Amino acid sequence: MTPVTETLVGSNVEELCATASTLRDQGKGRIVSFSPKVFIPLTRLCRDFCSYCTYRQDPDDGPLYMTPEAILQVARTGQERGCREALFVLGERPEQRYPEAGIWLRERGYDSSLHYLHDMCELILKETELYPHSNPGTMTGRELLALKEVNVSMGLMLESISPRLLEAGGPHEHAPSKHPRLRLRTLRQAGELKIPMTTGLLIGIGETAGEREKALRAIGDLHREYHHIQEVIIQNFRAKPETLMAAASEPAVSEMLETTAMARIVLGKEMNIQVPPNLSMHNGDGSYLVYLDAGINDWGGISPVTIDYVNPEAPWPHLERMRRQMMERGFQLRARFPIYPEYIVDSGDYLPVELKRRLKSEADAQGFIDKTGNYFGNGGVEERGRKYGEHP
């Protein structure tokens, strides 16, 4: 990946998109992937308070943690529908804020949420055909190394490079773990440990276009050094009722196109660039397809079983409809594992030996899922009313 030295801010968006699309075609061809997944909200407790978040809950709002039985029920239902990813999402170190969380964990023999997460990932690997991908927040090197043994990849959104967002009145004022220095440190430690990582930006929370470009370049610097950034997500902020940013403006499509194209140009033709389609749909239409013109090659995780608990108002797209619409534009939709194909077919040691052996035995020659599950024709979960704790 050759670094782009000149600034891209202020460039013509159409020209940026044209350049980004050409680079994508050179590096990825016309295959655009997605990961058939189940969303497992291990806990919605969190020590942080972000001004735009509806995922976090207080102890009185619902179950403190999902039980192993509930986790397996969701995973097995997903397996029946062809899912291969178990996406574990949890708040940042909730036991540091809530005594109830610490008590729940200690009663079951755990000293932290990350300890419990480790064992639930191990449970998924032992009892199902799914592969864990965990998003537990910032971590130490020791914690990353422990989770590497039971995850094929992990994720940590950088969100922004700007420490301004932690100032009084900013979206991260009460979310110290969102400091970019801490997030970049975790991403760097993951690189040192050869852990495939997903990261990305959250667009529209108060950052400038220049700060977006700076964040992309910081991610690119890490990847050039360690080659471990498997995916970069360009995610649009969505204003949610009953949050401090409920009245904030959402980013325009032109801003998203600009940032997505910049990501492709800055990070190069081989990087996997994603825009979440369910955050860009309006009335169930295919408006998200416009990001194909900005150089993306992935749609992220889409579930035929579970809702997006972080964005419960945003249903997944219908996969068969998506597949047909993409074919009309000259693209092929392929299902992948929660680790990208190149890490499966590569001879490097980014995966524990047993997990790599298992993946290689199930993947096709390109590293994609060899068999098509029954998620096509049924689409994703297009419901909004299921509450946390209510599982199929």
How far the first Cα of the chain sits from its last, in Å, is 44
- pLDDT at res. 383: 37
Is 367 a residue whose pLDDT tops 50? Answer: yes
Q: Angle at CA 73, nearest 5°, toward 146 and 99?
A: 55
Region of poorest pLDDT, from 128-142, 187-201, 336-350, 371-385 = 371-385
What residues does each domain of the chain span? 13-362
The DSSP 8-state label assigned to residue 242 in this structure reads: T
CA nearest 213: which of 1, 56, 4, 2?
Answer: 4
- pLDDT at res. 3: 77
* Alpha carbon distance 318, 363 (integer Å): 24
Report helix, strand or coil for 277. Answer: helix
Q: pLDDT tens across 193-234, in order? A: 999 999 999 999 999 999 999 999 999 999 999 999 999 999
Kindly state which CATH superfamily the domain 13-362 is placed in: Aldolase class I (3.20.20.70)
Residues 6 or more apart whose CB falls under 8 angstroms from that of 253 comprise 280, 290
pTM of the model: 0.94
Residues 6 or more apart whose CB falls under 8 angstroms from that of 160 comprise 180, 201, 202, 205, 206, 207, 211, 212, 215
For the four alpha carbons of 360, 365, 370 and 376, in that order, the dihedral sign comes to positive
* Alpha carbon distance 108, 360 (integer Å): 35
> Torsion over CA of 260, 310, 129 and 92, rounded to 10 degrees?
100
Report helix, strand or coil for 32. Answer: strand
Q: pLDDT tens across 116-169, in order? A: 999 999 999 999 999 999 999 999 999 999 999 999 999 999 999 999 999 999
